[in-house]
Structure 1
């Protein structure tokens, strides 16, 4: 298989056939057809509206007619008889009722209506098929008008509307369930010489969306005070049917359907108007044609094989560009054929096939290149983080010299009192201690997706957010710092068992912009970060020895983790090399619940009193903290400061800033 994929011809054949075997069968089932219908509906919506068919007039049983006639449905048939007489007198060529007269009403009304049908001699009535389904059988019953009406009418046709599988009306058929449809009968009666194949079916040639056929209300035909001009009726096919958006009675159902225009105007189309569009389609011979199924299958096969052959020779980026061009070309050709020739070539699944082929070729490129990438992993994984290895593999251009400005969190960590310990210790013992310290620290950095920048004596520098950006880089760094402190317990026990002092780790973290990238010479370089952010993180690590703390954060890091971690606002300090003071925070652990420990709340109250120079109140608070948390170094420091300020107050411009004299 791998050798087959290595040759572009074999890969093209395999990918093209797979796309064909997936999508060709899909075009014959409902999900695939529904997708193709979306493209067809777009074609309908893009077509310009045509003039209203001059041979058609719709008499709508609509809301205004219910209001004017003030009658509940069903209306008396003598009313329909009067309508027929008025239309006949005005010169209607053909009257088509899209209303079912299947049940008798009063004998007098039925007699009057039958008489009007016979006198007119040009009325077509509707019939339908009632389908009763049962788990064991399906029964079809032809529901016809009353016998007297059938005898008096010019003809009876099937008035059923047949939506596609997705519920949208797009197609017509001349015969259904062995019966001629009402539009086919109307077209034959209006134009006797028309030649319609008995099994004809196709796409309805809608002249437009709702009310694109000339329409009047039912009551307007009966209005004696304001009669319609005969020219509005003379020589036309007059369709009579319901055009209700809301049904006033259960018997007068709205009889409306989804059409391709629903997505555009959110309006259903009345069944009688759809019948009118079908009649117009038949009279003009303009029904839409579709690519036959055998031709569609060959179309899929040809396109898929040709395109897969093309894409197999291109890089993924060029292949993507080619696919985009081909997709727009196929969509444009398909829509053009429909708009100008009324011929529909389905494009959606073909375009989906192009996407599959593109994905298959990208996979082929990946399999080929995977072997080339393995040596990069083997070469670098022992020296830098796995994330950085993957970044180099994905972007080898980043190995070039240079850097980018990125937002990161920098961590510095070192061992307290290691320098004095190393003065009287053999070098190999020092190396052993450092290895025992660096091993868990490095593992934790990599586990938290950090980048190990460098070892500097007993110090470690790491960063989060470069070369791979993380929105939560500050939280990852802080959680790594907590894990480092937790990992020191077993290491310190091992050192004590060998008679060594329990060296403590001190950590400083700061978030901000750095220049990160490969820095060095053309021959030798190292991925690192430089900038003021790095310097401040180093200063915060050193500040731990002043406050007797283990982990200190800057305010920029604090703002990103305050809702998740438990922190103590410690002091406002001025470090060497920076013009502005920095608020520092001690990282205590994970936050448990929404409240703070009692001692921490009291400490914060003491800090507030300290800032207000309310030394007596501050002393009281700090003494309380020491009772709850004995020998807390920061509290002892502030208690000492307050007592000193009680004896010798600070200068008037004092802002609570503590100046660090050393780095």
Structure 2
């Protein structure tokens, strides 16, 4: 029978379900396409066009440009409609395939004789003379009868004012639909502003003049169909192409998801779901435009007009028909129409297939799942590298599809998903790792010095085997008679008592930023200036040793007052060059110091038992002439196996909180100086000290030596 799932298993399942739900929510949010995401995606597509604009090819499209020079030669706008008639006549004579006006003739020509007769203050004879002249709009209409002319009409969102009549929507093109119908997906408008009926009736076609820029004002798409009130109408681009090709109908294929394509003659144009075609801008070209004044002056050869689709519009800044293009500069509105026609005639289509969002969602899910998985399971560097490769791959595929296949694939939505899927778990994992590291640090610090733990966390390379030479200070402590005490009291009570004692001692060591080298039973070894170098490690060691002694004495006194025979603590302090590092082998981390100074510090602690002192500090720590007068020389000690003596000092009162008798120290030092000089008066001097300081163990120790016939201050130890 299989064992029941553990809590860890269910926690893992819960985390997996949580991350899965999070990824699905992220996909849902991104596929809602908020405005900020659309703006960023459009910026990416714009950059693609800057890197690789459409190459201009001499297509059968020309702009009859009412440019600044034309206005200077002919006069300010609006021109009399007779000039429009001349443009139509010249275009027809040159064999133009069609002529479209990116202009709305919504009112009668005010310069026309009929309008002058109606509105000017004239005499009866003058008014009769003007009424006898031919009307400009009639001349324009008459010219249109002989050519394929498409007039533009404006559309607006607002309905007519109350009492006003909506202009009829002029539609001459037939509409053949395949699918459930295009109307629900088209951009809706309330009304049209068409040409005056006297002109509209003579035009071959009518096309809506409408640009639908994005929120940043950039025109990236041109509509081919629009909905005005309850009618589907063509745009100027689609109507002009239909007229030039001599087609009667526009064919539209749609699905429930939106419009798929618009077909005009042999040209099948992929569209957005709203019936718009994506623009791929080419650089400005002088070959694209014919100045209007030249056409009016008859200076354009017929070869430049034969079979061309002509668009009449203006690039003059004063006429304000300027738009923002994807190249980052202003483009005349008529040029936008011309570029759209160039793309259609060249069968160069940017398209964003209906299935693109589905693929992007799948790429987002797959990439985000991969990024999330590696972020949760691999090292940060590996996870970052894998996520970066995924991001580069998505961006690379997107650029490849645009560059070679003119396909718009959004790299941003999957990229954001992948980035979030990497960053969120990475941040969480970092937080959990940091939390775990703090927990380990806190837990480990109960057993190892906090400064050592901090050093290891910041320098994990220290965990490798090996060491380095470093000058350090050492404190060794030992508890007198604790073995006998453990035999005399309950073992559990003895352990509890020892732990309280060690907690206090270790806390003091850590407070002085010492490193706990080791604990052996009731003995403690403390190291300074490792792993982090401390310039004042000797001063720290002395201060720490004195505080340890005061704590130990107070602790022992407190226990003795309750009847527990808790012994005194002996301390040795020494300094020297050692090798510090990890000497625990391959299986365990054991950071410690090795070298003779460590052994010497241990022997100084042991020497207290023979000398009768509680603390011995070597000259390596204090120097031969200590700066403080509150110490006295113990002697020059020669330990077993050594030949060179080591000058050792004892702090006044062994570091206890008793008043320091500086006179007693001075008397001792005078007697010690006689002894060190091998002066025969040394014995008498110590005899006198014994009378005044008879209870002092160190005085008795030297007095006994002198009485045995020894001289000098060198004390040789025959045992370790």
Q: Matches of 1:150 and 1:24 in 2, distance apart? A: 49
Whole-Å separation in 2 of the counterparts to 1:5 and 1:396 = 33
Q: Does residue 1:261 correspond to 2:335, yes or no?
A: no
CA contact (8 A) 1:158 1:179 kept: yes
Structure 2 counterparts to residues 230-269 of structure 1, below 5 A: 230-244=302-316, 246-247=317-318, 252-253=319-320, 255-262=321-328, 267-269=329-331
**Aligned residues of 2:361 and 2:414 also touching (Cα < 8 A):** no
Secondary structure of 1:58's partner? Answer: strand
Please list, as runs of the form range in 1=range in 2, the aligned pairs for 1:198-347 lying within 5 A after superposition: 199=259, 200=261, 201-202=271-272, 203-206=277-280, 208-211=282-285, 214-224=288-298, 227-244=299-316, 246-247=317-318, 252-253=319-320, 255-262=321-328, 267-292=329-354, 293-347=357-411
Deviation at 1:223, TM superposition (A): 3.1
- Whether 1:64 aligns to 2:69 is yes
Aligned counterparts of 2:387 and 2:579: Cα–Cα separation in 1: 40
* 1:197 alignment counterpart: 252
Matched position secondary structure for 2:83: helix
Do 2:49 and 2:281's aligned partners in 1 also have CA atoms closer than 8 Å? no
CA–CA separation in structure 2 for the residues paired with 1:4 and 1:363: 23
* Per-residue CA distance 1:490-512 (angstroms, 9 max, x = gap): xxxxxxxxxxxxxxxxxxxxxxx
Match of 1:167 in 2: 217
Alpha-carbon distance, 1:133 to partner: 8.6
1:182 to 216, 219, 236: 236
Q: Does the 8 Å CA contact 1:454/1:460 hold for their aligned counterparts?
A: no
Are residues 1:78 and 2:140 paired? Answer: no
Q: Deviations over 1:575-596 (max 9, x none)?
A: xxxxxxxxxxxxxxxxxxxxxx
Contact preservation (8 Å) 2:467, 2:582: no
Give the CA deviation at 1:233.
1.3
What residue in structure 1 maps to residue 94 of structure 2? Answer: 90
Cα deviation code 1:417-460 (max 9, x no counterpart): xxxxxxxxxxxxxxx9xx99x97999xxxxxxxx8936545469
1 CA distance for matches of 2:332 and 2:235?
A: 17
Q: 2:106 aligns with which of 96, 102, 105?
A: 102
The 1:360–1:187 alpha-carbon spacing in structure 2 relative to 1, beyond 3 Å, is same
CA contact (8 A) 1:59 1:218 kept: yes
Q: 1:259 touches 1:268 (CA, 8 Å); kept in 2?
A: yes
Would the alpha carbon gap of residues 168 and 20 (structure 1) be closer, same or farther in structure 2, given more than 3 Å must change? farther
Return the alpha-carbon distance in structure 2 between the equivalents of residues 139 and 327 of structure 1. 41
CA deviation after TM superposition for structure 1 residue 98, in Å:
0.4
The 2-side partners of 1:239 and 1:300 are apart by: 44
Does residue 371 in structure 1 map to residue 375 in structure 2? no
**Deviation digits for residues 28-70 of structure 1, max 9, x if unmatched?**
221111122122222222335323242101111222222232x
Shift of 1:304: 2.8
Aligned mates of 2:459, 2:16 — CA distance in 1: 27
Specify the alignment match of 1:122 in structure 2: 148
Residue by residue, what CA displacement relative to the aligned partner does 1:532-563 show, whole Å, maximum 9, x if unpaired?
Answer: xxxxxxxxxxxxx9xxxxxxxxxxxxxxxxxx
Asked whether the equivalents of residues 20 and 300 of structure 1 are also in contact (C-alpha less than 8 Å), the reply is: no
The answer to whether the Cα contact below 8 Å between 2:59 and 2:342 also exists between their aligned partners in 1 is no
Matched positions, count: 421
**Structure 1 residues 195 and 309: alpha-carbon distance in aligned structure 2, compared to 1, 3 A threshold:** farther
2:534: which partner in 1?
453
Query: Which segments of 5 or more consecutive residues in structure 2 lack a partner in the other structure?
Result: 1-5, 115-134, 161-187, 254-258, 262-270, 469-503, 515-531, 543-577, 584-590, 594-627, 629-720
**Residues 1:460 and 1:73: Cα distance change in structure 2 (over 3 Å):** farther
Check the 8 A contact 2:87/2:296 in 1, yes or no: yes
Q: 2:674 maps to which residue?
A: none
- Whose radius of gyration is greater, 1 or 2? 2
Distance (Å, rounded) in 2 between the aligned partners of 1:391 and 1:113: 92
* RMSD, aligned α-carbons: 4.2
Q: Give the match for residue 38 of structure 2.
A: 33
Q: 1:243, CA displacement in angstroms?
A: 1.3
